[in-house]
Amino acid sequence: LHFARVFASLSIPGLVQSLVLENERTEKLIEDPRIDHVSFTGSVATGRKVYAAAARRMIDAGLELGGKDPAYVAEDADLAFAAENIVDGACYNAGQSCCAVERVYVHQSVYEPFLERARSLVMAYRMGDPLDEHTTLGPLARRETIETLKRQVEDALKRGARAIYRGKRPSGRGTFFEPTLLADVPNDALAMQEESFGPIVPVASVANDDEAIARMNDSRYGLSASVWTRSNKRAEHFARDLEAGTVYKNRCDFLDPALPWTGWKESGIGSTLSRCGFLALTKRKSVHFRG
């Protein structure tokens, strides 16, 4: 709505139109012959419907879908820096970011010290009105997400995970969920495999870099991943072997307009941002003359 209002102030009428539609009417809109390209951001389930509708007309579609973005804390990481940024990457906007950190792997040599630092950070969040300057954790946008988070936490605990700090839904108004820190979470747990979109931080210990890469790649998603290390050589190794559209060293949940934003596996198709992002919005033509 903000974009529509801004573009409406220009001297080009109808450049941007804002429509609020349910899935069925969106599919009908894609069938309109005036539509040449579809760019969708949302869930995998709806992305499949959008892609199928675009395929019926043989038009291109860019899909930015779900994520289960992993972080790896190597044995040589700046532990305080890594913990602070990873917890923030998981809980920023109450975890409601497509590239939020949603699972954490920590080298066994620094595992317990990382958990100790992460616990103090998670406990420091203050829930409340997002317009209050003292609030550091706002509400969830969708009420049903609370049940998703509760189910993921319970599943992890049943599989042997430890609750280092277990958040609860507070009484009163608002769709709030306290940040939750889990340790020893098996890789087949829901909290490690299914998108959370909320402030939970599931953590597991790994013995070495190879195990970290294997576990980080053990996902149907591949949006972004981060490695926390002082070694460029290690970071380059992870950048090469991780199945993700973006690989960070010592940062997370960040966009650079000069770099393509893209997803692997079920995290999406196509790119936005950078020069690559404009390619889908153009039609290439070769002109070949002889004589």
State pLDDT tens for residues 53-74: 999 999 999 999 999 999 999 9
Confidence of residue 111 (pLDDT cuts 50, 70, 90): very high
Asked if residue 168 has pLDDT above 70, the reply is no
* Average pLDDT score, the chain: 94
Maximum C-alpha span of the chain: 80
Helices (H), 61-143: 79-91, 111-123
**252 assigned to active site:** no
pLDDT (average), residues 90-116: 97
More confident residue, 23 or 101: 101
Q: Which of 91, 98, 99, 252 is catalytic?
A: 98
pTM of the entire structure?
A: 0.93
Q: 174-208, pLDDT tens digit by residue?
A: 899 999 999 999 999 999 999 999 999 999 999 99
Report how far apart the first and last C-alpha atoms of the chain are (Å, whole number). 54
User: In the annotation, is 98 catalytic?
Assistant: yes
Q: What is the arithmetic mean of pLDDT over 240-269?
A: 96
Using CA atoms, how far apart are residues 31 and 52, in angstroms rounded to an integer? 11
- As a whole number of angstroms, the distance between CA 101 and CA 80 comes to 17
- Catalytic residue, chosen from 24, 27, 64, 236, is 64
Percent of the chain past pLDDT 70, that is, above it, reads 98
Q: Is the pLDDT of residue 283 over 90?
A: no
163 three-state secondary structure: strand
CA distance 239 to 29: 39
